[in-house]
């Protein structure tokens, strides 16, 4: 492994995606931003899109905007996200938050899987997803089976054992938010299908970073977030996926007027709209919804194969540097070694993890994030992260520990990073 900074610069000059960085707002060139897996950078095209939307569409067109593209936007932009994840047209809809979409699909699935009682998940899953399951369980009497992992790797064999003829839904995050472990989508979906359960995947930490083919993997249903690798902006609405043959079998439990067959008929009885439209509930948030499109367009232009190839190269490079420079200083690899099972962030554990994270942010110009108990999460976003960024981040982490800079931060606690 070549450890020089010159080597990082050589990798950057050979990077076919390097030019995409200029398509994003980078106000502070000195800041090494490694949190694009929590909040992606702002695409330049989004700035002009938002101005046009506010000044022209809202300011001038007013209510006419609904017939000039707003009503169809959740399905139209949903289709573009669908192209990133191997979904057939009209099987992705943008609506609500990831948590709310999970609630809608999970409750719909449990009801549709009548007679089956368990929801199977793992302990790597995002807490909100477990909270949603607990809410659904309370309402339906379903039972949640949380399969235990080693904290890093998906417990695939134990999941296979937990699934049986009583399982209604297998509900997992495709890429784990802490360790970055990525499940084999086809193989694990097949485990659910083998016992007659349906699969509901949370793609939040995969979409825009990992290659996904929902159609080939025969996935039943999925949800995902748009403000991470899709660069949709803070609090941008989420998406849901439902395979075509299930769209009219599953009922949206939060039935509202935007999912009504005759929207402007104002009849007093709910009559579900055809297709996936029924999973819309209320009025879509047009401002934040529209902000999703430019980031998705950039990923479509780059192509997910190229995005994944660079993500793999970045995380392999980071792990090589960790082994040579950080492992001797007490940093542990809290992510899978096998690149086929790794998403686009790498977690490094350290007994002083939180203090190191704070020192990086406060005095070293590096912005990662921290997840309890000990993980510093380094998010690698292929359209904007360079190999030189990775080299610099590792070098500065080395300095924080070797110069004992973290000691000044050992008593602090933190609210949001
Ligand atoms: C970020 C993330 C979410 C976000 O949920 P919201 O309800 O949109 O806030 C959900 N699930 C996972 C796995 C995530 O990583």
**Is the Cβ atom of 177 under 6 angstroms away from ligand 1?**
yes
Q: Which atom of ligand 1 is nearest to the CA of 129?
A: 11
**Ligand 1, pocket-test mutation among 39, 175, 177, most atoms within 8 A of CB:** 177
DSSP state string for 318-345: HHHHIIIIIGGGT-EE-S-S-GGGB-SE
Q: Determine the pLDDT at residue 411.
A: 76
Q: Is residue 99 very low, low, confident or very high in pLDDT (cuts 50, 70, 90)? A: very high
User: What confidence tens digit (pLDDT) does each residue in 116-137 have?
Assistant: 999 999 999 999 999 999 999 9
The residue annotated as part of the active site, out of 129, 202, 357, 389, is 202
DSSP state string for 196-240: T-EEEEE-TTTTTTS---TTTTT--EEEE-SSSTT---TT---EE
Q: How far apart are CA 278 and CA 74, in angstroms?
A: 12
Q: How far apart are CA 193 and CA 249, in angstroms?
A: 17
Q: Which of 218, 214, 216, 262 is nearest to 240 (CA)?
A: 214
In eight-state DSSP terms, residue 273 is P
In angstroms, what is the span from residue 225 Cα to ligand 1's centroid?
6
Q: For ligand 1, atom 6, which residue shows the shortest CA distance?
A: 98
Q: How far apart are CA 172 and CA 124, in angstroms?
A: 9
Q: Which of 235, 210, 201 is nearest to 102 (CA)?
A: 201
* pLDDT at residue 387 tops 70: yes
In eight-state DSSP terms, residue 58 is I
Q: Is residue 1 very low, low, confident or very high in pLDDT (cuts 50, 70, 90)? A: confident
The residue to which tokens 């047209």 are assigned: 89
Q: Is residue 56 very low, low, confident or very high in pLDDT (cuts 50, 70, 90)? A: very high
Residue 315: CB partners within 8 Å, gap ≥ 6? 335, 339, 342, 344, 345, 346, 380
User: What confidence tens digit (pLDDT) does each residue in 354-384 have?
Assistant: 999 999 999 999 999 999 999 999 999 999 9
* pLDDT at residue 416 tops 60: no
Residue 291: CB partners within 8 Å, gap ≥ 6? 46, 49, 50, 232, 233, 236
The residue annotated as part of the active site, out of 377, 387, 389, 398, is 377
**Is the Cβ atom of 205 under 6 angstroms away from ligand 1?**
yes
**Is the Cβ atom of 173 under 6 angstroms away from ligand 1?**
yes
In angstroms, what is the span from residue 1 Cα to ligand 1's centroid?
36
In angstroms, what is the span from residue 229 Cα to ligand 1's centroid?
12
Q: How far apart are CA 238 and CA 71, in angstroms?
A: 16
In angstroms, what is the span from residue 205 Cα to ligand 1's centroid?
8
Active site residue 377: yes
**Is the Cβ atom of 98 under 6 angstroms away from ligand 1?**
yes
**Is the Cβ atom of 99 under 6 angstroms away from ligand 1?**
yes
Q: Residues 194, 197, 201, CA angle at the centre, nearest 5°? A: 105
Q: Which of 141, 95, 94 is nearest to 115 (CA)?
A: 141
Q: Which atom of ligand 1 is nearest to the CA of 177?
A: 15
* pLDDT at residue 352 tops 70: yes
Q: How far apart are CA 247 and CA 241, in angstroms?
A: 9
User: What confidence tens digit (pLDDT) does each residue in 271-326 have?
Assistant: 999 999 999 999 999 999 999 999 999 999 999 999 999 999 999 999 999 999 99
Q: Residues 188, 376, 184, CA angle at the centre, nearest 5°? A: 10
User: What confidence tens digit (pLDDT) does each residue in 149-180 have?
Assistant: 999 999 999 999 999 999 999 999 999 999 99
What is the rounded average pLDDT of the residues 180-194?
A: 98
Structure tokens that stand for 213 in this block: 């083919």
Predicted structure pTM score:
0.97
In angstroms, what is the span from residue 140 Cα to ligand 1's centroid?
23
Mean pLDDT score of the chain, rounded to an integer? 97
Among the ranges given (174-183, 322-331, 405-414), the one the predictor scored with the smallest mean pLDDT: 405-414
Q: Determine the pLDDT at residue 410.
A: 87
Q: Is residue 412 very low, low, confident or very high in pLDDT (cuts 50, 70, 90)? A: low
**Is the Cβ atom of 384 under 6 angstroms away from ligand 1?**
no
What is the rounded average pLDDT of the residues 322-338?
A: 98
**Exposed / middle / buried, residue 404 (Cβ in 10 Å: 0-12, 13-18, 19+):** exposed
Return the percent helix, strand and coil in the chain, to nearest 5: 45, 15, 40
User: What confidence tens digit (pLDDT) does each residue in 193-250 have?
Assistant: 999 999 999 999 999 999 999 999 999 999 999 999 999 999 999 999 999 999 999 9
**Ligand 1, pocket-test mutation among 225, 228, 416, most atoms within 8 A of CB:** 225
Helices (H) and strands (E) in the chain, counts: 12, 13
Q: Which atom of ligand 1 is nearest to the CA of 126?
A: 13
Q: How far is CA 44 from CA 182, 230, 298, 347, in A?
A: 30, 14, 11, 29
């Amino acid at each position: 492994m070549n450890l020089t900074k010159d080597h990082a610069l050589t990798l950057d000059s050979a990077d076919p995606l390097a030019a995409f960085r200029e398509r994003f707002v980078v106000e502070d060139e000195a800041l090494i931003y490694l949190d694009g897996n929590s909040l992606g950078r702002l695409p330049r095209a989004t700035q002009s899109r938002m101005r046009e939307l506010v000044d022209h569409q809202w300011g001038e067109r007013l209510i006419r905007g609904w017939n000039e593209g707003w009503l169809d936007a959740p399905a139209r932009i949903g289709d573009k996200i669908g192209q990133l994840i191997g979904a057939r047209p009209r099987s992705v809809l943008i609506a609500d938050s990831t948590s709310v979409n999970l609630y809608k699909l999970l409750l719909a699935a449990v009801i549709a899987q009548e007679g089956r009682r368990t929801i199977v998940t793992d302990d790597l899953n995002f807490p909100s997803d477990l909270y949603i399951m607990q809410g659904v369980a309370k309402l339906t009497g379903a039972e949640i089976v949380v399969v235990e992992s080693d904290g890093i790797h998906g417990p695939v064999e134990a999941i296979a054992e937990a699934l049986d003829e009583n399982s209604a839904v297998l509900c997992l995050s495709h890429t784990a938010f802490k360790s970055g472990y990525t499940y084999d989508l086809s193989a694990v979906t097949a485990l659910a299908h083998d016992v007659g359960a349906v699969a509901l995947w949370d793609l939040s930490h995969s979409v825009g970073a990992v290659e996904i083919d929902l159609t080939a993997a025969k996935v039943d249903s999925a949800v995902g977030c748009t403000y991470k690798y899709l660069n949709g902006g803070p609090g941008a609405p989420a998406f849901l996926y439902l395979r075509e043959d299930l769209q009219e079998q599953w009922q949206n439990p939060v039935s509202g007027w935007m999912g009504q067959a005759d929207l402007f008929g104002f009849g007093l009885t709910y009559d579900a709209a055809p297709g996936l439209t029924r999973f819309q509930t209320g009025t879509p948030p047009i401002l934040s919804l529209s902000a999703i499109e430019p980031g998705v367009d950039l990923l479509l232009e780059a192509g997910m194969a190229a995005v994944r190839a660079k993500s793999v190269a970045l995380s392999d490079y980071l792990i090589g540097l960790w082994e040579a420079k950080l492992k001797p200083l007490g940093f542990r690899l809290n992510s899978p070694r096998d690149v086929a099972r790794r998403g686009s962030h790498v977690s490094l554990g350290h007994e002083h993890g939180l203090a190191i994270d704070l020192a990086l942010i406060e005095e070293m110009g590096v912005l990662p994030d921290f997840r309890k108990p000990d993980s510093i999460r380094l998010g690698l976003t292929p359209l904007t992260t360079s190999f030189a960024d990775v080299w610099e981040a590792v070098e500065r982490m080395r300095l924080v520990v070797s110069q004992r800079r973290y000691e000044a931060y050992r008593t602090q606690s933190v609210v949001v990073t």
